[in-house]
């Protein structure tokens, strides 16, 4: 992996394009992401530095402090990270993410972290100290190491992600789980989901967001490259033969999505299956606007934080 340090010229706190995040700010400590997930939509962004390259914003912590001191109104919380993973396994990224989170938390600003990386011990200490300001989402769609290696080659293993959940629960933070993106015929099978749900149930996970893979030309190309020697590719492409072009609830975002009735039925089946494990599974509304036009995360986060009024006030719009 080639690491480069660059200057951040634009504001550190950016406005997200997804409707469900439109009221908050996002922060991306890098362009590029060492996890190199085959389905990653950020690999098609104009600022993407290319595979095998991660650019770290060297001036971001200082810039964030200045930005916060100038703001009349501070954001309620900040989302890490919409186009990279704040915990990708590069020490300089980990250190920068830690610094950025520490600054925000010290300003009483909440953080929402979505990660497929391993959470280092010092972050757990930080999260424990600021428990009421932290919302963690763990991305995981399978316990199968072989499947994960193919679709998310440099992200943490399923067992490391389960270990994240275990360690978070041990400090009193029950994370939410994101099954995003589910890949039809591969990670949406009953066998795969039952194995995953039974482990999640063990740790008392009660909420998960679900969403199917959508395709754009470059996602298709990356998937083709990652899966060309496997039987998965044929299976995936067959599922997307009847795909439809839809607009996400995000700026300028047209994608090819699975047929709406396939998604609707499958989401219902997954939610029914999850409920037998005591887990509430909800569909990402912004990415499935032909099923629901409502971003449902707010409603579901409301339930997630039902008994924690401080977090409810912070993370539920």
Determine, following the binding rule CB under 6 A, whether residue 37 of this chain makes contact with ligand SF4: yes
Q: Which two tokens stand for residue 251?
A: 């700026």
Task: Select the residue interacting with ligand SF4 from 20, 25, 33, 284 (CB under 6 A).
Answer: 33
The window from 3-11, 79-87, 130-138, 190-198 that contacts ligand SF4 (CB under 6 A) reads 79-87
Q: Which of 8, 116 has the CB closer to ligand SF4?
A: 116
Determine, following the binding rule CB under 6 A, whether residue 136 of this chain makes contact with ligand SF4: no
Q: Which of 140, 314 has the CB closer to ligand SF4?
A: 140
Q: Which of 40, 133 has the CB closer to ligand SF4?
A: 40
Q: Judge if the upstream peptide bond of residue 105 is cis by omega within 30 degrees of 0.
A: no
The window from 33-41, 120-128, 285-293, 307-315 that contacts ligand SF4 (CB under 6 A) reads 33-41
Number of residues that bind ligand SF4 (CB under 6 A): 11
User: Any idea what the Cα angle at residue 215 is, between residues 210 and 220, rounded to 5°?
Assistant: 130
* Minimum separation from the CB atom of position 272 to ligand SF4 (A): 27
Sequence-separated (6 or more) residues with CB below 8 Å from residue 11 = 63, 67
Determine, following the binding rule CB under 6 A, whether residue 233 of this chain makes contact with ligand SF4: no
Determine, following the binding rule CB under 6 A, whether residue 215 of this chain makes contact with ligand SF4: no
* Minimum separation from the CB atom of position 26 to ligand SF4 (A): 12
Q: Which of 37, 208 has the CB closer to ligand SF4?
A: 37
Between CA 78 and CA 72 the distance in angstroms is 16
Sequence-separated (6 or more) residues with CB below 8 Å from residue 7 = 57, 58, 59
The H or E element containing residue 282 is strand 280-283
Sequence-separated (6 or more) residues with CB below 8 Å from residue 297 = 20, 209, 282, 284, 285
The interface mask with ligand SF4, positions 140-179, x = CB under 6 A, is ---------------x------------------------
Determine, following the binding rule CB under 6 A, whether residue 207 of this chain makes contact with ligand SF4: no
The interface mask with ligand SF4, positions 104-123, x = CB under 6 A, is ------------x-------
Determine, following the binding rule CB under 6 A, whether residue 85 of this chain makes contact with ligand SF4: yes
**How many residues are there in the chain?**
317
Determine, following the binding rule CB under 6 A, whether residue 297 of this chain makes contact with ligand SF4: no
Q: What is the DSSP string of 130-179?
A: TGGGEEEEEE---S-HHHHHHHSTTSPPHHHHHHHHHHHHHTT---EEEE
CA torsion sign for 161, 167, 171, 172 is positive
CA distances from residue 32 to 44, 74, 148 in whole angstroms, order as listed: 10, 27, 19
Q: Could you say which residues in the range 255-284 bind ligand SF4, by CB under 6 A?
A: none
Determine, following the binding rule CB under 6 A, whether residue 304 of this chain makes contact with ligand SF4: no
Sequence-separated (6 or more) residues with CB below 8 Å from residue 14 = 25, 26, 27, 28, 82
Residues forming contacts to ligand SF4 in the complex (CB under 6 A) are: 33, 35-37, 40, 42, 83-85, 116, 155
């Amino acid at each position: 992996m080639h690491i480069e340090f660059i200057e951040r010229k634009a504001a550190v706190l950016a406005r997200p394009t997804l409707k469900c995040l439109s009221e908050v700010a996002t922060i991306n400590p890098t362009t590029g992401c060492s996890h190199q997930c085959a389905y990653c939509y950020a690999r098609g962004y104009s600022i993407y530095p290319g595979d095998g390259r991660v650019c770290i914003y060297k001036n971001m912590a200082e810039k964030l402090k200045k930005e916060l001191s100038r703001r009349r109104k501070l954001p309620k919380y900040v989302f890490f990270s919409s186009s990279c993973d704040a915990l990708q396994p590069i020490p300089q990224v980990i250190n920068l993410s830690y610094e950025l989170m520490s600054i925000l938390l010290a300003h009483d600003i909440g953080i929402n972290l979505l990660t497929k990386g391993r959470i280092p011990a010092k972050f757990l200490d930080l999260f424990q100290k600021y428990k009421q300001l932290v919302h963690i989402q763990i991305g995981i769609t399978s316990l199968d190491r072989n499947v994960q290696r193919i679709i998310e080659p440099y992200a943490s293993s399923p067992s490391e992600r389960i270990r994240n959940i275990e360690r978070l629960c041990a400090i009193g933070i029950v994370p939410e789980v994101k099954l995003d993106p589910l890949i039809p015929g591969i990670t949406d099978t009953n066998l795969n989901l039952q194995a995953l749900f039974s482990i999640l149930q063990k740790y008392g996970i009660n909420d998960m967001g679900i969403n199917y893979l959508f395709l754009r030309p470059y996602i298709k190309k990356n998937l083709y490259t990652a899966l060309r020697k496997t039987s998965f590719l044929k299976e995936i492409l067959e599922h997307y033969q009847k795909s439809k072009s839809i607009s996400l609830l995000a700026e300028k975002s047209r994608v090819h999505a699975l047929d709406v009735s396939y998604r609707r039925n499958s989401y219902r089946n997954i939610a029914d299956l999850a409920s037998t494990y005591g887990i509430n599974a909800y569909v990402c509304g912004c990415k499935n606007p032909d099923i629901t036009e409502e971003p449902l995360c707010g409603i579901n986060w409301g339930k997630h934080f039902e008994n924690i009024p401080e977090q409810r006030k912070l993370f539920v719009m």
